[in-house]
């Protein structure tokens, strides 16, 4: 399938694997890219720009297809060396960067000069329009359903995507709540040029996370995610567990008076313990409502193939249409 997104990024299928902290290693990005979609390494999971450079080199050994790097600008305890990460991306010859979390404007001239295309992930139409205005090449529009940070507007994709289509001139992908060909066709119907998936890619053979993580996604229904850090205006959609219940209890108790310090011990540094060591109660971790649609752990090439085959079948012969 050819769309403006496949043309922009030089990929076969209009499917992107969103950056994911402690999931987006070279193994995942290479497997996604080898399947004809766009794999993405998560920069900030690498402790230093030098480590990111090695990860990019490792990925390049595993695939000769295009892959990208995610650069996330979110509030963090220690400010990362963004200049160093951008240099590692450019020197590593990466041609796609997914930015998220904050306005990427200051990095655009440097990246564009090096021939890098920027897709900015946003959770509102006004931020998508701003991304277009500052010169981003594409946007990823992330609905309220999404795993990770859905923003503070709470607009689901049924509204957000057609609104984005009405306002944008640059190509965009739909993100959040998508697991299969039905989600791809619906996204195209809303005016998107492809899809971005996070949670679905974690429950795959190649995802370099502990088996317990994959099992917990399969066991979860669409009712099992919660929103934490609402009180800090840094909302994150996570899979429910005892640590999440404790964080929510602290948020209820402290209300407006809360600061990050009040929940820091429940959150900071937990991702590797959960995602790599499989201690599923160690802390909150991002997961989308789409977990309710996921009940297998396929090879990534089979997943992509089945999404494209299902999309093709729907487009050709929709079972709900008796006559037109």
Ligand X SMILES: Cc1cc2nc3c(=O)[nH]c(=O)nc-3n(C[C@H](O)[C@H](O)[C@H](O)COP(=O)(O)O)c2cc1C
Which spans of this chain sit near ligand X (rule: CB under 6 A)?
Answer: 18-21, 23, 42, 70, 72, 100, 121, 142, 145-148, 175-178, 196-200, 285-288, 290
Smallest distance from ligand X to CB 322, Å: 32
Nearer to ligand X (CB atom), residue 46 or residue 72: 72
Q: Which is nearer to ligand X, 287 or 308 (CB)?
A: 287
Closest to ligand X by CB, 113 vs 308, is 308
CB of 238 to ligand X, least distance (A): 9
- Measure CA of the first residue to CA of the last residue in the chain; give whole Å: 24
Residue 290: both structure tokens together: 């789409």
Distances from the Cα of 124 to the Cα of 156, 163, 168, angstroms: 10, 9, 12
Q: Closest separation between CB of residue 69 and ligand X, Å?
A: 11
Alpha helices in 234-287 (DSSP H): 242-254, 264-267, 271
Q: How far is the CB of 160 from ligand X (least distance, A)?
A: 13
Side by side, the strands of the sheet bearing 117-122 are: 15-17, 195-197, 172-175, 138-142, 117-122, 96-100, 67-72, 39-42
How far apart (Å, rounded) are the C-alpha atoms in residues 265 and 262? 8
| Distance of closest approach, residue 200 Cβ to ligand X, in angstroms | 6
Long-range contacts formed by 264-273: CB under 8 A, 24+ apart: 264/77, 268/77, 270/243, 271/21, 271/22, 272/22
Closer residue to ligand X (CB): 79 or 317:
79
Nearer CB in complex with ligand X: 8/178: 178
Integer Cα distance of 68 and 292 in angstroms: 28
Residue of this chain nearest to ligand X (CB atom):
198
């Amino acid at each position: 399938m050819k769309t403006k997104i496949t043309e922009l990024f030089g990929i076969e299928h209009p499917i992107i694997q969103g950056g994911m902290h402690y999931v987006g290693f070279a193994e995942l990005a290479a497997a996604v890219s080898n399947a004809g979609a766009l794999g993405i390494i998560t920069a900030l999971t690498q402790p230093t720009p030098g480590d990111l450079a090695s990860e990019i080199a490792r990925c390049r050994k595993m695939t000769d297809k295009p892959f990208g790097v995610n650069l996330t600008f979110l509030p963090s305890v220690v400010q990362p060396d963004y200049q160093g990460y951008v240099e590692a991306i450019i020197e590593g010859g990466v041609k796609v960067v997914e930015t998220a979390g904050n306005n990427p404007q200051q990095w655009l001239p440097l990246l564009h000069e090096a021939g890098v295309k920027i897709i900015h992930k946003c959770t509102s139409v006004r931020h998508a329009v701003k991304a277009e205005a500052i010169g981003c090449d594409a946007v990823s529009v992330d609905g309220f359903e999404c795993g990770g940070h859905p923003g503070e507007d709470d607009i689901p994709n049924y509204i957000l995507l057609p609104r984005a289509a009405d306002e944008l001139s640059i190509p965009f992908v739909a993100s959040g709540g998508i697991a299969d060909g039905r989600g791809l066709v619906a996204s195209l119907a809303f005016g998107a040029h492809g899809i971005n998936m996070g949670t679905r890619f974690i429950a795959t053979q190649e995802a370099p996370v502990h088996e317990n993580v994959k099992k917990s996604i399969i066991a979860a229904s669409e009712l099992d995610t919660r929103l934490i850090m609402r009180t800090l205006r840094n909302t994150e959609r996570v899979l429910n567990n005892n640590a999440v219940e404790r964080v929510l209890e602290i948020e209820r108790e402290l209300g407006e008076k809360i600061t990050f310090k009040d929940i820091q011990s429940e959150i900071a540094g937990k991702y590797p313990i959960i995602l790599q060591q499989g201690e599923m109660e160690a802390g909150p971790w991002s997961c989308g409502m789409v977990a309710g649609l996921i009940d297998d752990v396929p090879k990534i090439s089979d997943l992509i193939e089945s999404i494209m085959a299902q999309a093709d079948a729907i487009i050709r012969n929709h079972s709900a249409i008796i006559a037109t």
